[in-house]
């Protein structure tokens, strides 16, 4: 007796999605409800920034690179600036390095809160989404007071920083950190005790330690699987030498662990921010740097909210770099989705995708359920999200 021929159903998700950040296209092959294969197609917002860097000088590049990401803009500029400073053989003053860390940790807080909100929304938990984004405004306000901008803070200049914290601002930030700590306590309680929420996260998308290492995943995604990989700890840069952070890991590797790791990282951020504000020494903010950067190659790695951010800069001795290569953390984490998705239900896909905190834009993306016997069934991202929520109701 021969098996009936089984057709593959491919569910494309994406690429269009105007509401959030970045469009991406995924194709999930399904057998009934279970995903059997997954593929990714990127590049819908490819702007050729690496190429553009080769015709601009180092200062212009710093501002250009900051615009790679609308969430973690500061880490991009920091990675680039640290690399260029290494090539030029100069060191930013200690106060500047501390302020860089301060901005980086504030950015991490706002990024993790943003993610918490998005993840809660995809799970159909809109109250948590509203709460998280309301609290995120606290840190956005701090960033605006600090730098004058909510998104592209432009804290860095080559050789230092251009903003400073005074006594008044420092008191305000400390008070806000206490408030956010209290809120995080509450969110921690929700994500670890709420039954409906746990139903969507516990035991879902489990990534084993071995797989995570093989796939080269980074950031909270890999730390939730128990791999000790955090550039701030493994290879302290900038102010992290003076203000060390503790690495947060979890052993289970499922979606719940990723929630826990990110929330615990928030506590660490509050602690480090308060420590910096306590201990920061008065001093210079900028070291002079020549416009022409000596010939050489440098690798600069920093820990962005989503994981390791990698910069390779090659200088040819002029004012313009020969080559700038950027590898963002989301790129290595896509691989984990393609791996983990297999064997899961289609209804779990929104949460799985959100689990790695990708820079992707995803509210109204087209989903087409193809089948030979039926007419194509077209869903948008909202439809898929509702499908997921209904499935678990």
Partner 1 sequence: METSEILESGKIILEKWIESSSTPEENRLDIWVTIENFKPVVQSIVENHWGYLITITGLDVPPLFDEEKKEIQSGQLEALYHFANEAAIITIRVKVPYSKPQIESICDLIPSATIYEREVIELFGFDLLNTPNTDKLVLPDSWPEGVYPMRKTFTNLQVLENTTKEQPDE
Work out whether 113 is an interface residue with partner 1 (CB under 8 A). no
Nearest-approach distance from CB 142 to partner 1, in angstroms: 31
Work out whether 213 is an interface residue with partner 1 (CB under 8 A). yes
Q: Are 365 and 16 in contact (CB under 8 A)?
A: yes
- Per CB under 8 A, contacts with partner 1 among 59-98 are 86
- Per CB under 8 A, contacts with partner 1 among 288-307 are 296-299, 301
Give the relative orientation of helices 94-122 and 126-147 as an angle to the nearest 10 degrees: 160
Residue number, 263 or 353, with CB nearest to partner 1 = 353
Nearest-approach distance from CB 175 to partner 1, in angstroms: 36
> Which DSSP string do the residues of 122-181 spell out, in sequence order?
HTT-HHHHHHHHHHHHHHHHHHHHHHS-SS----EETTEES----HHHHHHHHHHHHHHH
Which of the ranges 101-109, 138-146, 212-220, 245-253 carries the binding residues for partner 1, by CB under 8 A? 212-220
Nearest-approach distance from CB 296 to partner 1, in angstroms: 7
Work out whether 43 is an interface residue with partner 1 (CB under 8 A). yes
Helix, strand, or coil here: 299?
strand
Work out whether 19 is an interface residue with partner 1 (CB under 8 A). no
State the Cα angle at 238 between 236 and 244, rounded to 5°: 45
Work out whether 20 is an interface residue with partner 1 (CB under 8 A). no
Half-sphere exposure of 54 (CA within 13 A, CB side): 10
State the Cα angle at 275 between 238 and 162, rounded to 5°: 50
Work out whether 334 is an interface residue with partner 1 (CB under 8 A). yes
Which of the ranges 46-54, 261-269, 271-279, 362-370 carries the binding residues for partner 1, by CB under 8 A? 46-54
Fill in the DSSP letter of residue 285: -
Which of the ranges 38-46, 100-108, 264-272, 376-384 carries the binding residues for partner 1, by CB under 8 A? 38-46
Nearest-approach distance from CB 224 to partner 1, in angstroms: 17
Q: Which of 229, 204, 206, 203 is nearest to 216 (CA)?
A: 229
Work out whether 56 is an interface residue with partner 1 (CB under 8 A). no
Which of the ranges 10-18, 167-175, 208-216, 370-378 carries the binding residues for partner 1, by CB under 8 A? 208-216
Work out whether 271 is an interface residue with partner 1 (CB under 8 A). no
Cis status, amide bond into 343, omega within 30 of 0: no
Work out whether 215 is an interface residue with partner 1 (CB under 8 A). yes
Residue number, 50 or 181, with CB nearest to partner 1 = 50
Token pair of 323, please?
Answer: 């080559």
Give the relative orientation of helices 167-193 and 126-147 as an angle to the nearest 10 degrees: 160
Residue number, 216 or 226, with CB nearest to partner 1 = 216
Residue number, 197 or 237, with CB nearest to partner 1 = 237
Q: Where are the beta strands (DSSP E) in the chain?
A: 9-13, 25-31, 34-41, 156-157, 160-161, 296-304, 307-315, 321-327, 366-369, 377-380
Residue number, 299 or 378, with CB nearest to partner 1 = 299
Residue number, 95 or 223, with CB nearest to partner 1 = 223
Nearest-approach distance from CB 277 to partner 1, in angstroms: 28
C-alpha separations of 38 from 28, 157, 240, 344, 349 in Å: 5, 42, 38, 11, 11
Q: Which residues of 179-193 are buried (b: 16+ CB within 10 A; e: fewer)?
A: ebeebbeebbebbee
Fill in the DSSP letter of residue 39: E
Which spans of this chain sit near partner 1 (rule: CB under 8 A)? 40-43, 46, 48, 50-51, 86, 213-216, 234-235, 296-299, 301, 308, 310, 312, 314, 323, 325, 327, 331-332, 334-335, 339
């Amino acid at each position: 007796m021969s098996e009936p021929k089984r057709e593959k159903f491919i569910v494309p998700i994406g690429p269009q999605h105007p509401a959030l950040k970045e469009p991406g296209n995924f194709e999930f092959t399904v057998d009934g409800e279970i995903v059997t294969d997954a593929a990714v197609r990127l590049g819908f917002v490819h702007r050729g920034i690496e190429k553009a860097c080769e015709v601009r000088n180092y200062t212009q590049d710093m501002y250009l690179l900051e615009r790679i990401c609308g969430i973690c803009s500061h880490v991009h500029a920091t990675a680039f600036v640290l690399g260029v400073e290494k090539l030029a053989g100069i060191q930013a003053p200690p106060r500047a390095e501390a302020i860089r860390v301060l901005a980086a940790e504030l950015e991490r807080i706002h990024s993790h809160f943003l993610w918490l909100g998005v993840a809660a929304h995809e799970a159909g938990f809109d109250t948590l989404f509203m709460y998280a984004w309301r609290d995120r405004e606290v840190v956005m306000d701090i960033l605006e007071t600090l730098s004058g901008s909510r998104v592209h803070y432009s804290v860095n200049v080559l050789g230092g920083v251009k903003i400073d914290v005074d006594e008044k601002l420092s008191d305000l930030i400390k008070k806000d950190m206490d408030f956010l700590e209290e809120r995080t306590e509450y969110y921690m309680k929700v994500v670890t005790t709420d039954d409906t929420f746990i139903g969507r996260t516990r035991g879902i998308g489990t990534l084993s330690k071995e797989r995570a290492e093989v796939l080269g995943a980074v950031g909270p995604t890999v730390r939730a699987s128990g791999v000790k990989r955090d550039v701030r700890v493994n290879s302290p840069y900038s102010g992290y030498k003076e203000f060390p952070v503790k690495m947060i890991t979890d052993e289970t590797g499922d979606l719940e662990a990723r929630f826990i790791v990110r929330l615990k990282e928030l506590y660490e951020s509050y602690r480090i921010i308060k420590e910096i504000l306590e201990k920061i020494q008065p001093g210079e903010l900028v070291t002079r740097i020549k416009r022409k950067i000596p010939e050489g190659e440098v690798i600069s790695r920093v820990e962005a909210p989503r994981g390791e951010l990698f910069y390779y800069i090659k200088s040819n001795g002029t004012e313009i770099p020969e080559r700038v290569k950027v590898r963002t953390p989301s790129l290595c984490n896509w691989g984990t989705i393609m791996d983990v998705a297999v064997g899961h239900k289609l209804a779990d896909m929104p949460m799985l995708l959100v689990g790695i905190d990708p820079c992707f834009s995803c509210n109204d993306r087209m989903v087409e359920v193809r089948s030979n016997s039926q007419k194509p069934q077209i869903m948008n991202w909202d439809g898929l999200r509702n499908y997921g929520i209904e499935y678990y109701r």
